[in-house]
Every structure is written in C-alpha cells, then in structure tokens.
Amino acid sequence: MAVDAISRRRHEPDAGVWELRARHWTHSRLICVAGLRALATAAPAAEHVATWSALADSLLAETAATSLHPSGRWQRAPDDPGLDAALLLPPVRGGLPPDDPRVRRTLSAYTRELTRDHYAYRFRHDERPLAEAEGAFLLCGYAVALAEHEQGHREEALRWFERNRAACGPPGLFTEEYDIGQRQLRGNLPPAFVHALMLETATRLAADPQPGFSSERDTTP
C-alpha cells in the first residue's frame, strides 16, 4: 500500500522527478505529503484519516526542519539551497495551503530566478545563463500557471498559460523544451506529460481561483 511504502521509506534518498542522482529531494517528500492528505480525504474509516493525516504532518515537519531556505522558501534538498520547478507542484496537489508563506516565497523566488519572458526552467545547472544549459521546460511553464492560479493571480496565470501554449509546432504538438532565443522546439516530441498538464491547466484556469486570496504577489527576496 502507498501509505505503508511512504512510512517505511520516508528517510531514503530517491532519484527525483527529473531522474537525477539519489538524494533527499524536498519535492519528493512534499508530494508524499500531498498524496497522504488526498488519501485521508477519501479514507474509508476515521482511524485512517487520523493516521494518514498525522503521517503527513510529521513528514512535513521533518522536511521543514531540513529543507527550508534561510529566506523562508523551500530549497531543493537539505544540502542544496537552490530552487526547482518541482517545488511548485506539492501545493497545487494539496500538500500545503496556497496562503502558506513558504509556498508564496517559493513561487516568488522561482519566478524571479528561474524564468525568462514567461518561460520556465527546471533548475540552475551551473553558473551559465539559463538558456545555455538547456531549453525552457514547457511542463514547468504550466506548473507556474497552476501555482499562480492557486494564489488567485488569474491574469498572471493566463499569461503563463498562453505563452507556453503558443510554443508548439504547426500540428499543435509540444516538445519537452523550447529554445527562447531561437524560438525553436527542442527535445523529445511529443512528450505526453506536457500535453497532459496543458489540458489540466486549461481546465483549472476556466474555473475561478481560490476565493479569498489576495491578488498581491509576494515580493520577499
């Protein structure tokens, strides 16, 4: 069972969503928190709700103790203070509430440091300019659109969606990456995960954002 696997293996390193070498990736633990909360919501028995929710709370507290950047945002791993597009997804999946300061600071720092012209990069490989290391990842652009929508920033979410939606070939298919400078498709064609997240983003953006959230963006450095 998924809950048992998380409970048993929560302290083990894993290869991460980008198939990188095994480390204690922050996004892996936070997405497990999101999964546990979703399971608790649909739990068939009250004892499962309490147990699974407690495990989610414990995992979140452990992750915050090891992987919170001094600025108050999430960082990639306990030994890596960098940012990563994957850190945007756990709140979208229900792991943390959109108004959590760590969520807002992570989104603000990510859009400031890892995006250009409403295109998004996975993470910083080295000291080279972002576009020299790899192309912008269209999947990440849609992740930003979802994250902005969760914050109630509807217009900004639509900008992100439309910008990345337009980065397709004549048949309407997306590649994995997009070269901003050359305005050319890069990488595998067609990756289903980009198309899937584009469709999800379109569906979510058609609905109203979460009620009661401020339209002001976090500008914490």
* pLDDT at res. 221: 58
Contact residues for 174 (Cβ-Cβ < 8 A; gap 6+)? 138, 167, 168, 185, 189, 190, 191, 194, 195, 198
Tokens 């910008």 found at: 163
Structure tokens at 103: 């969520």
pLDDT at residue 46, rounded to an integer: 79
Mean pLDDT by 10 residues, the chain (221 residues): 90 91 96 95 84 96 98 98 98 96 98 97 94 95 98 96 93 92 89 94 83 50 58
Residues 6+ apart with CB under 8 A from 183: none
Q: Distance between CA 157 and CA 154 in Å, rounded?
A: 5
Domain locations along the chain: 2-205
Radius of gyration of the chain (CA): 17
- Predicted confidence at residue 99, as pLDDT, reads 96
Cis upstream peptide for 190 (omega within 30°): yes
Q: Which CATH architecture has domain 2-205?
A: Alpha/alpha barrel (1.50)
With CA atoms as reference, report the closest residue to 57 among 68, 49, 45. Answer: 49
